[in-house]
Structure 1
């Protein structure tokens, strides 16, 4: 029965949309559901994968599958910081920050324009709204530009990471490259999304007044609920030349 998993997904979807399975409700265990529908656990997991891809359920390792609470859309504000002021100030927004020293390799060495092996301060930030991940950011600074002291002990880290803002001093230029793409396995795990989902990937570099790259950031957001907004400000000279 090649389409049995779709029939199961349809039945569970109806239970969710009609409220029989409410937001936050834990589904029966996978073996119990497989027995209920008289299918193998592999077929049952294919059905659950369909619903995960639709954002209707989410799986927590070691805890089971839950009906996903309604998720709001949020806004990425390009050029400085990532969350709009309302999202950034929301008390329900929680950010975990992991810090480390890593050597510049491959893409990072190219983005920061530093020799391979140069030490970088790494900040891996995952934002959550309640229990649901909103975004993932990997932020890199040359070691000499990182705030003094052991990584992770400065209050600056969590405050700035809450908005995924540039961690160094104000840059003269911020360049962002935006693309829609499939998620990597690490992003699937961190954002708890389906491998078939689409993410919004943003590569951001910040440059100071003398042309040095002072920060590189790799940002990833769920593509089905993220809007990216970029605002262009013209200089006075440009406004005078374009009346």
Structure 2
């Protein structure tokens, strides 16, 4: 026996169909929640539950104080595990742009362990927020020891790789890169910054790079929403041929 779709899923299906057929276009504001609830003859709570389904799918975003908008189709990026420039965008003409805010601070909390430094050691944070058009796309916080921090990081860049390239000019090459990847809900701050549902899973990647002496030269905390990011890890197995007498 087939189950009957719940009211919230029926509403979500109807709005999804309107989006896919172009009756509601990308960038267009949906009617107010009160108007939608009245039109579908449901409570505001049920209507919001239906919109939450679309938020989780990345079809709709809620902008505080303005309402719910249909998202433009978002580029998917690929995180390349173990690479020195880990973010790969789909093409050279990608619409993604990265804004960078640089702040000097002192080591505290988890940063002490991540960078292997003492409390209050001078660090530099680069807060990188990528955008596709007007929509936020992904978030990265990069921390480096102050003496390895460049002073000429641009406030706008065309990709994460250019930020990494600027950092690489002021540090020894990493000899080891450790990465930890987990899936989790976003924090309230991350959900607000990225305009995603608090129920959407994000890829949270902690990346620590150390030089040949073991000194940590960079620690990065990356937040990639699951509807627009993949992670790729490739392992190369080296076979050792045995010779006679071995």
TM-score (norm 2): 0.82
Q: Which runs of 5+ in 2 are unaligned?
A: 1-5
Spell out, residue by residue over 1:75-107, the C-alpha distance to the aligned partner (whole angstroms, 9 max, x if none).
Answer: 1122222322644x3351111111212221221
Q: What RMSD, in angstroms, separates the aligned Cα atoms of the two structures?
A: 2.6
In the TM superposition, residue 204 of structure 1 has moved relative to its aligned partner by 0.5
Q: Which secondary structure does the structure 2 equivalent of 1:121 belong to?
A: strand
> 1:45-71: per-residue Cα shift (whole Å, max 9, x none)?
222112111222111223221112222
The residue that corresponds to 1:84 in the other structure is: 88
Q: Greater CA deviation, 130-139 or 34-43?
A: 34-43
Counterpart in the other structure of 1:70: 73
Q: How does 1:84-103 map to 2 (within 5 A)?
A: 84=88, 86-87=90-91, 89-103=92-106
Partner residue of 1:172 out of 171, 175, 182: 175
Distance in 2 separating the partners of 1:76 and 1:48: 29
Cα separation, 1, equivalents of 2:233 and 2:158 = 20
Q: Measure the CA separation in 1 of the matches of 2:89 and 2:159.
A: 14
Structure 1 position 126 matched with structure 2 position 129: yes
Q: Is the 8 A contact 1:77 1:228 kept in 2?
A: yes
* Separation in structure 2 between the aligned mates of residue 25 and residue 17 of structure 1, nearest angstrom: 13
Q: Which residue of 1 aligns with 2:19?
A: 16
1:80–1:156: structure 2 CA closer, same or farther, 3 Å change rule?
Answer: farther
Match of 1:60 among 63, 80, 87: 63
> 3-state SS of the aligned residue for 1:183?
coil
- Structure 1 pair 19/161, CA: closer, same or farther in 2 (3 Å)? closer
Q: Structure 1: 5+ residue runs without aligned partners? A: 149-153
* In structure 1, distance between residues paired with 2:176 and 2:93: 28
Secondary structure, aligned partner of 1:209: coil
Q: Which residue of 2 aligns with 1:162?
A: 160
Which deviates further from its counterpart, 52-61 or 5-14? 5-14
Distance 1:23 1:101, change over 3 A: same
Question: Could you tell me whether the CA contact under 8 Å between 2:76 and 2:90 is conserved in 1?
Answer: no
1:27 shift after superposition: 0.8
Q: For 1:110, what is the secondary structure of its paired residue?
A: helix
State the alpha-carbon separation in 2 of the partners of residues 121 and 214 from structure 1. Answer: 11
The structure with the greater share of residues assigned to helix is 1
Q: Is 1:145 aligned with 2:148?
A: yes
The DSSP-based 3-state class of the residue aligned with 1:32 is helix
Distance 1:214 1:134, change over 3 A: same
Given that residues 125 and 161 in structure 1 are in contact (C-alpha distance below 8 angstroms), is that contact kept between their aligned partners in structure 2?
no
The answer (yes or no) to whether the contact 1:97–1:161 under 8 Å persists in 2 is no
